[in-house]
Chain A
Amino acid sequence: MTSAREVVVTGLGATTPIGGDVASTWEAALAGESGARTLENDWAEKYSLPVNFAATIKVNPAEVLSRPETKRMDPSTQYAIVAAREAWADAGSPEVDGERLGAVVSSGIGGLWTILDGWDTLRERGARRMLPMTVPMLMPNSPSAYVSLEFGARAGTHALVSACASGAEAVGYAADMIRTGRADVVVAGGTEAVIHPMPLGAFAASRTLSLRNDDPQRASRPYDIDRDGFVLGEGAAVLVLESAEHAAARGARVYAKIGGVGLSSDAYHITSPDPEGKGQVAAMRSAMEDAGVTAADIVHVNAHATSTKVGDLTETYSIRTLLGSDADHVLLSATKSMTGHLLGGAGAIESLFAVKAVSERVAPPTINVDNPDPELQVPLVRDEPAKLPGGDIAAINNSFGFGGHNVALVVQNH
């Protein structure tokens, strides 16, 4: 196989609950900072919400974008554009033929604020008062479409929707666009902006949210015995993927390689993972086969681990099932302990973390694990970052979504 179809990461961008860009987000992640905070509004009281905290965005995009941009983009698109601009600049603003440039940016839910604001306007003031930009703002492909407009991407603009796996599926699809020859460069990632009382109420109704209102920063605690659900987060991450050949020709700095993409679906239950983890194992296995790596090569896994009772353990069971005794040398990180759960953005920020981990040979910590669940089956990076070994290494980012979507990406040093 020639290097022409090898896919490398040459640019990174993010805006998250723990930082307004990649540098601050990564620094906060290594320092074990939580992005969760008590909401400064009256939602809990007004709507009898059982939860009054979330991992809100650290830097308001209004500080970075122009006023017209914030008015014509849903917050989910605003986050994506902030991250995409950073990633593109970080990649050195590559000169690339638009016909060879793609955009794949996912959102799990879409322009929720715009949908609900539009509904409020219609009910309270009538159709005449509705804004003409409502539809282009609410559509779930709006982030990818604006990213394509931003850089002139004409090789294809896509928005894959698979709930909390969406961001990772976008990165995987982007890698496939390059490997199949459809594009040389793809701007890929995920975004979400649904910290609104309706989804908070809805997630609480499904009994999946942490209700640790008295201690928000300690609420997201994957693998801790006292975990009680996930913390809703928001934000976006974007990666610039490029064929190794294209990157080499322009002398681009390469962070890491996206070596393999694995996809599967559980077809088991609409929200619960298959307790035997068959789909998760299948996704990881096919990503490893795709990358040509074996269990012995895997040194790090960025877990999907949302801090729910069932989900966290199923994943470590899957990892143990697949890797066997080689799981003993895997360093497992659950970064949602710090960022909260970015839903459609989660798979993107966690892919970005996996890329940084491989590139800098350091696995970010998992915080708030006071008492590890005794059923945890893989060594966990707790509280402090852990060094990854030298030589050729591979990491897996797992992202799973409501609906039974399983995405595994293999990240390797370049």
Chain B
Amino acid sequence: MANTDQEILEGLAEIVAEETGLDKADVLLEKSFTDDLDIDSLSMMTIVTHAEDKFGVRIPDEEVKNLATVGDAVSFIKGAQD
């Protein structure tokens, strides 16, 4: 079942908020995982694991390094679902 971009963003924001303690409202498309949200590699992999579960997709390890921003992740998940 495919999600809309907005649903993916909201779902991802929930995961990021759980992992980091940030406010969901701060998880915006243009935010960088490392520079803006201060997410380290271990946390990033945790987020990826939860996102795969939540959205029913596979995010290969070699793809994770290309996901610089929240928007990149939303686009990848959307593409993987379609």
Contact = CB atoms under 8 A, between A and B. Distances in A.
B36 to A, nearest CB: 17
B49 to A, nearest CB: 6
Contacts of B52: 128-129
A67 B21 contact: yes
A59 to B, nearest CB: 20
A133 B46 contact: yes
B19 interface: yes
A66 interface: yes
Q: Is the interface of A mostly helix, strand, loop or mixed?
A: helix
Interface of B: 18-21, 42, 45-46, 49, 52-53, 58
Nearest to B49: A131
A339 to B, nearest CB: 32
A375 B64 CA distance: 67
Contacts of B19: 68, 71-72
Interface in A65-106: 66-69, 71-72
A132 interface: yes
B49 A132 contact: yes
Contact of B21 (A66, A130, A131): A66
Nearest to B44: A132
Nearest to B52: A128
B26 to A, nearest CB: 14
A132 B19 CA distance: 12
Interface in A96-149: 128-133, 136
13 contacts: A66-B21, A67-B21, A68-B21, A71-B18, A72-B19, A128-B52, A128-B58, A129-B49, A129-B53, A131-B49, A132-B45, A132-B46, A133-B46
Interface string A14-58: 000000000000000000000000000000000000000000000
A2 B39 CA distance: 48
Contacts of B45: 132
Nearest to A130: B49
